[in-house]
Each structure stands twice: as C-alpha cells, then as structure tokens.
Structure 1
Amino acid sequence: MKKNVLIIGAGGVAQVVAHKAAQNNDILGDIHIASRNIAKAEDIIAGVLEKRALKQPGGVLRAHTLDALDVEATKALIRETGVQIIINVGSAFINMSVLRAAIDTGVAYIDTAIHEDPAKICETPPWYGNYEWKHAEECAQKGITAIHGAGFDPGVVNSYAALAVQDYFDDVDSIDIIDVNAGSHGRYFATNFDPEINFREFTGTVYSWQQGAWQSNKMFEISRTDDLPVVGEQTTYLSGHDELHSLSRHLPVKNIRFWMGFGAHYINVFTVLQNLGLLSEQPVTTAEGLEVVPLKVVKAVLPDPASLAPTYTGKTCIGDLVKGTKDGKDREIFIYQISDHKEAYEEVGSQGISYTAGVPAVAAAMLVATGEWDVRRQANVEELPPHPFLNLLNHIGLPSRIREGDDDRALDFARDDAGKWRVA
C-alpha cells in the first residue's frame, strides 16, 4: 500500500486536491504541497486548517518551494519527504519533468491534463503519443504507476466512456463529451483555469475522431444544441481536447467528439484577442526592445481564476452522450455530473471548475494507495476499472447520474457476492 502525497501546484485545482486529500488523510497519509510560490502553498494549508479538513488531526501538512522543471530538485524533495504518490496539478508545461522525477525515484504519478510544449500548439494527433506514451515501456519495466488525465475531462468522462462500452452497449457508434459551465463569475472577462492553457486549447486546429480517423475543423465552426439536465438548453461547440487522443486508441468507437459551451461574449472577446495576435505563443519585440509573449501578457492582465471563486454562482454539467446498440436495438444514454460553484466554494474555497478537476485526482490517488489502481504501468483512465473510481467519486463529492429517455437516476455501484463490481 502506497502512502504520503506530494501535490505539485498551488492554484485553484491544487486547493481542491489539498482539501480532499486532507479529508482522506487516513488513506493518503502525509500531505506536502510544492510550488514556485510557497506563499500560495501556505495559503492553501491555512485554508485546510481553518476548515478543519484533516480527517486525522495532527497529520503532516507542509509547504515547499519547488521549480518543478528542475528534475533533480523534484527528486530531492520526493526523497526528503518520503512521498509515494505525486499528484501533479501544476502547469501542463511541467508534466514531463515531474514524470521523469517520478520514474527515477520509483513513485506513483498522477496528472490531470496532457503535456504541452510552450512553443507549440495543437501538435499532430494523438497528442499523448508526442510525449507521455513514449515512456510506457520504461514505466512497465520499472513497475511505475503513471496515470494520465485523471481530472474530469480528461478523467471522469473517460471512465464514463469505458463504463458505457463495458456495461451498457454491445456496440458503440458515438461518444459525444459535452462540457457546459452555466455559472457566472460576474467579471467582464475571465477564464476558469490558467488563461494561457485555456486559450491554447482553442487557437489551433480542432481535432475530432470521426469514422475511425482524425478530422480537422476550425474553432467555433460547428455547434450543437442540447436540452441538458438541470442547466437546460445549451449550445456547445466542437473543440479539440485531451481525452479524444487516448479514447480513440483504447476504445472500439468510430466517432468520439468533444463539445464545450461558450457564451457569445466569450466568443467575441476571444475573436478580437486572436485577430489582434494577442493569443500567440510566439515572442514579439516591443518598440523598447523588450521580448514578450503576447499570450503571457494577456494572462498577466486577466483575473487569477482562483479569485473568481467567492462570488461564482450557478452550475456545471459535464457528461458523455453515448449512442449504439444493445441486444439488437438502438440505445442512447447520457452519463453526467452536476456541480454547484457556491457549494464548491463553501466546502473547499474554490469554484466548481477547479472542484471537478481536483476531486477525481484525489480519488485516483486513493485507489493507487489501496492498490485497486496501482497498476505498475502507464495508463489513461479508460484503461482502468471504472466502477471503483466512479463509486468513490459518488462518496467524496462528485456523484454521477445517468439519463435514458425519461428515466434519470443516480449512477450507483455495488459489489456482488463474488466481489465483482456492478451497477446497482
């Protein structure tokens, strides 16, 4: 059994991870938080203590200064703290550095997003093949558990997809992942997570998996409108996203697409910024001879996503619309989760988007700790058993539901007499 956790990062998602790890420190053990800005890590610890989140009072909860791009420094911190599980919720730019440190020190690794090169946007699919999957053989040889994309999307939606393929269909024709934030932060313009990473998702080619091949589109070129549970009728746009690049490899499904909701105001501001060149990741030189990256300047002037939490209201709806056949008949189900921004803030001090990303990472760490997901190889979430993951999420803050026709019910799980998981 693995114990003791190192959380890398000190943003809104890290805050959620710290609170949830504290609530389950009987399983996870010591909790360490590392960031280039130790003050932010210390603020998270203060919030955890203020809310008395530690399930076992007196447990280790400590902040550290770390530049996670420094592999040797990360390895030294791992050895110093004695952690056995890393939860990496820092910038996507550090993934390969942290993974390298984990492999070299023999500890388990979990992240929530795909690695990115700061100088490149929308590389050739499949994106995991450009970085993460190159380490698969080494992880297997050394017995390293490395779980990639264990947030919500990617993460929980991958598990929904695996569950649908395994339990609900004989043949799946399409999986449409729909992500809607129907909340309001009250600011003129802001992004719900790191603006640099957020904008990079939408400035390149939109890749989707259709008819068993990659298809290219432009952002905001294709839309759909759905009547969704709780949040009602919503328009979403075909977008490129991490999970498509692993699901297309690991599941026998011809059509896998990702749709994200955007309001008209977001689209207008985004379009102006992009047309002005302000979303470029390539450096430019000012009249004063200063070299700056426009995208980083935009990030610097926008609100810190963590600052949105206190006044955020409304709900999110994220799920998988799956179509196929069962017993020779057409079937359609929507497996989904609803989160409330205000409730998330009251519990952990973060808004709902951070909450949905952070809770699954802790669930993954708990399953690694107990051995159910300690697979001693590299894996994406859809390759791992979905039932224990989704069942655990039901109990620690992210309960799932399933809608089929007029039937909308909680998605519950139980073990049968033989100890095998099943849908209750």
Structure 2
Amino acid sequence: MKKNVLIIGAGGVGQVAAHKCAQHNRQLGDIHIASRNIRKCLAIIDSIHEKGALQDPKGVLRAHALDAMDTAATRRLIEKTGAQIVINLGHAFVNMSVLEACIQSGAAYIDTAIHEDPTRICEAPPWYANHEWKRKPACAEKGITAILGCGFDPGVVNAYAALAVQEYFDHVDSIDIIDINAGSHGRYFATNFNPEINFREFTGKVWSWQNSAWTQNRMFEVKRTDTLPIVGQQTSYLTGHDELHSLSQHLNVPNIRFWMGFGEHYINVFTVLRNLGLLSEKPVKLDDGREVVPLQLVKAVLPDPASLAPGYVGKTCIGNLVKGQKDGQEREIFIYNVADHVEAFAEVGSQGISYTAGVPAVAAAVLIAQGTWDVQKMVNVEELPCKPFINLMNAIGLPTHIRIGNNQEDMLLSFELDEQAQEA
C-alpha cells in the first residue's frame, strides 16, 4: 500500500486536489503541494485550514517551491517528502520530466492531460505514442504505476467508454463525448484553465476517430445540438482531445469523437485573436529587438482561471453518448455527470471545471493507496477496473448518472462489488 502525496501545480485544479487529499489524509498520509510560486501553495494550505478540510487535523500539510521541468529537483523533492504518489497538475509541458522523476524515485504517477511540446501544436495521432507511451517499458521494468489522463476528460469519460463497451453493448458503433459548460463567470472573456493550453487545443488540426481511421477537420467546422440532462439544449463543436488518442487504440469502436460547447462570443473573440496571429506559439521580434511569444502574451493579459471561481454560476454536463447493439436490438445510452460551480466553490474554493478535473485525480490516488489501481505499469484509465472508480467518485463529489434510450428517468450509476472485485 502506498501513501504520502505530492501534488505538483497550484492552480485551480491543484487547489481542488489538495482539498480532496486533505479530506482523505488518514488514508493518503502526508500532503505536499509544490509549484514555482510557493505563495500559491501557501494560499491553498490556508484555504484548507480555513475550511477545516483535514480529515486528521494533525496531518502533515506543507508547501514547496519547485521547477517541475527540472527532473533532478523533482526527484529530490519526491525523496525528501517520502511521497509514494505524485499527482501532476502542472501545465502539460512538465509531464515527461515529472514522469521521469517518478520512474527514478519509484513513486506512482498520475496526470490529467497529455504531454505537450512547447514548440509543437497538435501532434500526429496517436499522440500518446510520441511521448508517454515510450516510457511503458521503463515503468513495467521498475514496477511503476503511471496512470495517464485521469481528470474528467480525459479520465472519467475513458472509464465511461470502457464500461459501456464491457457492460451495456454487444457491439458499439460510436462514442460521442460531449463536454458542456453551461455556467457563466461574468467576465468579458476568459478561459476555464491555463489559457496557453486551452488555445493550443483549438488552433491546430481537429483529429477524430471515424470509420476506424484518423479524420481531420478544422475547428468550429462541424457542430451538433443535443438536449442534455439539467442543462437543456446545447450546441457543441467537433474538437480534437486527449482521450481519443488512447480510446481509439484500446477499444474496438470505429467512431470516437469529442464535442465541446462554445458560445458565439467565445468563438468570435477566439477567431479575432487567431486571425491577428496572437495565438501563435512562435516568437515574434519587436521593434527594439526583443522577442515575445504572442500566445504567452495573451495568457498574461487574460484573467487567471482560478480567479473566476468566486463569481461563477451555473452547471457543467459532461458525458458519453454511446450507440450500438445489445441482444440484437439497437441501443443508445448517455453516461454523465453534472457539476455545479457554486457548490464547488463553497466546498473547495474553485470553480466547477477545476472540480471535475481535480476530484478524479484524487480518486485515482486513493485507489492506488488501497492497492486497487496500483498496477505497477503505465496505463490509461480505460485499461483499469472502472466500477471501483465510479463508486468512489459517487462518494467524494462527482456522481455518475445514466440514461438508457428515451427513458427520461435517469438513475445514479453504482455497483455492488465484493472484496475481490474491489481489489481486481
């Protein structure tokens, strides 16, 4: 059994994860938070104490300054803190350095997003094969548990996809992952997480898995409208996303697509920024000879996503619309979660987008600590037992519901598991 957690990253998702780890510190042990900006870590610790979130009030809760791009420094901090579980919630550029530090130190590794090379946007699919999956042999050789993409999407939606294939269908024709934020932050324009990473997702090619092959589109080229639980009728756009790169390789499903909701105002501002060249990751030279990266400049002038939380209202709805056949009949199901921005802020001081990303990462840490997910190799979430994961999230803040066919009576999805199944 593993214990003692090091959280890398002190943004909105890091805050959620720290609060949730604190709520389970009798099982998880010492909680450490690290970031280049130690003041952000200290502010999170203050918020945990203010809310009385520590399950064991005498438990260790400490802040550390760290440049997570420095593998040696990250390894030293892992060893200094005695952390056996590392939750990497830093920006996507640090994945490989933190993963390598975990391989060297023997700690389990969890992240919530695919690795990104700062000099490249929208890499060739399957993207995981370009970076993380190259470390599979090293993880297997050293018995390192590395769980990739364990936020909500990617993460929970991967578990939903695996569950649908395993339990609800004999054959699956399509999985459409739909991500809707029906909330409002009240600002003129802002992104819900790191603006640099957010814009990089949408400025490159849109890759989807269709007819068992990679298909390319442009951003905002293809859209759909669905009537969803709680949030009602919503329009979303075909978008490239992390989970497609693993689900397409691990599940025998010919069509897997990702759809994200955008308002017209967001699309208009995004389009202007892109057409002006302000979303480029390539440096440009100013008149005085200095160089600046336009995308980083835009990031600097936009609101910090964590600052949106106090005024955020409304709900999110994220789920998988799955179609196929069961017992010779056509079937359609929607497996989903609805989260509330106001409730998230009241509990952990973050908005709902951060909440949906942070809670699953902590659920993974708890399952590793229990031994259920301590698989001693590198995996994506769809390769793990999904039922204990869904049950745990029901208990700690992200309940899963399911709608089968046209039945409007959605039900909470939970599973009776014997002790052997819990440890599977």
The aligned amino acid for 1:322 is V
The aligned amino acid for 2:27 is I
2:45 aligns with 45
What is the CA distance between 1:401 and its match in structure 2?
0.2
1:249 aligns with 249
**Once the two structures are aligned, what percentage of the paired residues are identical?**
71
What is the CA distance between 1:26 and its match in structure 2?
1.1
1:126 maps onto 2:119 in alignment: no
The aligned amino acid for 1:410 is L
CA distance in 1, matches of 2:222, 2:59: 50
The aligned amino acid for 2:147 is I
Q: How does 1:277-356 map to 2 (within 5 A)?
A: 277-356=277-356
1:148 aligns with 148
The aligned amino acid for 2:158 is N
Any idea what the Cα deviations from partners look like across 1:136-192, whole Å, max 9, x if unmatched? 011001100000000000000000000001110010000000000000000000000
The aligned amino acid for 1:270 is F
The aligned amino acid for 1:369 is A
Any idea what the Cα deviations from partners look like across 1:255-296, whole Å, max 9, x if unmatched? 000000000000000000000000000000011211000000
1:107 aligns with 107
1:411 maps onto 2:417 in alignment: no
SS of residue in 2 equivalent to 1:260 = strand
CA distance in 2, matches of 1:270, 1:415: 46
1:136 maps onto 2:161 in alignment: no
1:166 aligns with 166
The aligned amino acid for 2:326 is K
2:186 aligns with 186
Any idea what the Cα deviations from partners look like across 1:317-347, whole Å, max 9, x if unmatched? 0000000000111000000000000000000
SS of residue in 2 equivalent to 1:413 = coil
What is the CA distance between 1:249 and its match in structure 2?
0.4
SS of residue in 2 equivalent to 1:415 = coil
Any idea what the Cα deviations from partners look like across 1:206-247, whole Å, max 9, x if unmatched? 000000000000000000000000000000000000000000
1:82 aligns with 82
The aligned amino acid for 1:169 is F
What is the CA distance between 1:420 and its match in structure 2?
3.7
1:395 aligns with 395
1:26 aligns with 26
What is the CA distance between 1:9 and its match in structure 2?
0.4
What is the CA distance between 1:50 and its match in structure 2?
0.5
CA distance in 1, matches of 2:275, 2:39: 37
The aligned amino acid for 1:312 is Y
2:216 aligns with 216
The aligned amino acid for 1:354 is S
The aligned amino acid for 2:79 is R
CA distance in 2, matches of 1:381, 1:412: 18
1:236 aligns with 236
CA distance in 2, matches of 1:346, 1:150: 24
Any idea what the Cα deviations from partners look like across 1:291-329, whole Å, max 9, x if unmatched? 000000000000000000000000000000000000111
CA distance in 1, matches of 2:372, 2:221: 42
CA distance in 2, matches of 1:204, 1:349: 33
Q: Which runs of 5+ in 2 are unaligned?
A: none
SS of residue in 1 equivalent to 2:416 = strand
What is the CA distance between 1:419 and its match in structure 2?
4.3
Any idea what the Cα deviations from partners look like across 1:99-124, whole Å, max 9, x if unmatched? 00000011100000000000100010
1:383 maps onto 2:383 in alignment: yes
CA distance in 1, matches of 2:28, 2:76: 21
1:225 aligns with 225
The aligned amino acid for 2:262 is F
CA distance in 2, matches of 1:415, 1:409: 18
The aligned amino acid for 2:323 is K
CA distance in 1, matches of 2:420, 2:30: 30
SS of residue in 1 equivalent to 2:410 = strand
Any idea what the Cα deviations from partners look like across 1:29-73, whole Å, max 9, x if unmatched? 000000000000000000001100000111000000000011111
CA distance in 1, matches of 2:340, 2:61: 27
SS of residue in 2 equivalent to 1:135 = helix
CA distance in 1, matches of 2:61, 2:4: 10
The aligned amino acid for 1:6 is L
CA distance in 1, matches of 2:215, 2:378: 27
The aligned amino acid for 1:110 is I
CA distance in 1, matches of 2:280, 2:420: 53
CA distance in 2, matches of 1:319, 1:285: 44
TM-score, normalising length: structure 1: 0.98
CA distance in 2, matches of 1:60, 1:239: 41
1:6 aligns with 6
CA distance in 2, matches of 1:64, 1:141: 30
2:63 aligns with 63
The aligned amino acid for 2:378 is Q
CA distance in 2, matches of 1:288, 1:41: 37
SS of residue in 2 equivalent to 1:27 = helix
CA distance in 1, matches of 2:415, 2:56: 27
CA distance in 2, matches of 1:348, 1:90: 19
SS of residue in 2 equivalent to 1:54 = coil
The aligned amino acid for 1:414 is E
SS of residue in 2 equivalent to 1:322 = strand
CA distance in 2, matches of 1:183, 1:139: 40
1:267 maps onto 2:270 in alignment: no
CA distance in 2, matches of 1:420, 1:330: 30
CA distance in 1, matches of 2:243, 2:321: 15
Alignment root-mean-square deviation, CA: 0.7
CA distance in 2, matches of 1:385, 1:175: 19
SS of residue in 2 equivalent to 1:215 = strand
